[in-house]
Amino acid sequence: MIELISTQPAWFWLCLGGLLLISELIGTGGYLLWTGIAAVLVGFIALVLPFLGWEWQGILFAIFTIVSAVLWRKWLSGRQNTKADDVNQISHQLIGIKARLLTDTEEGFSRVRLADGSWRIYSDIPLLADTEVVVITVDGITLKVKPYSDDSNHEQDGQ
């Protein structure tokens, strides 16, 4: 086995990279992705440069693994994390959504239809049915809303 690896190092690296990438698909959460990619890169380099010794292949593998992981981490930290706090609270993603009231508000409460469901809403001011509202906060299963007014339409009406 060792003789086969020493005579065909490119196939060793390609197979190792493939096994690591398959293992990543099973669900390790990103830990084996960069190691697998580094192994595949070393495999291709070993195909192109067959005279490269195993010491240099190992060093390249380590360098590629570290560089790719650092670059990935840097790219991830640069991304804006818009709604990370609301991942497990789907209702909080409704903030800013516009809807129309199904009924007049009674004691501040009414309902709106969002997607395939009906949501209970609360408004500080009395509103009539079919009024367009925007969700401003979420309190349990109740959406707090305010009337929606499009300022750009009012400016155009005055011209």
Distance from C-alpha of 46 to C-alpha of 14, rounded to nearest angstrom: 10
Minimum mean pLDDT range among 57-61, 77-81, 113-117, 130-134: 77-81
List of E strands, the chain? 98-100, 109-114, 117-122, 132-139, 142-147
User: Which amino acid is residue 44, in one-letter code?
Assistant: F
As a whole number, mean pLDDT of residues 110-137 equals 89
Asked if 108 contacts 124 with a C-beta cutoff of 8 angstroms, the reply is: yes
As a whole number, mean pLDDT of residues 129-136 equals 91
In the predicted structure, residue 121 carries a pLDDT above the cut 80: yes
Domains defined along the chain, listed by start: 2-78 (no CATH), 87-149 (2.40.50.140)
Per-residue pLDDT tens over the stretch 16-72 = 898 999 988 887 677 788 889 999 999 999 889 888 888 898 899 999 999 988 888
Q: Return the pLDDT at 88.
A: 63
Q: How high does pLDDT run on average in the chain? A: 82
pLDDT grade for 154, boundaries at 50, 70 and 90:
very low
Q: What percentage of residues in the chain have a pLDDT greater than 90?
A: 28
Per-residue pLDDT tens over the stretch 12-22 = 888 889 899 99
In the predicted structure, residue 159 carries a pLDDT above the cut 50: no
Q: Return the pLDDT at 109.
A: 92
Distance from C-alpha of 106 to C-alpha of 119, rounded to nearest angstrom: 15
pTM over 0.85: no
In the predicted structure, residue 80 carries a pLDDT above the cut 90: no
Q: Return the pLDDT at 140.
A: 82
**Beta carbons within 8 Å of 133's beta carbon, 6+ residues apart:** 98, 99, 100, 101, 112, 121, 123, 127, 145, 146, 147, 148
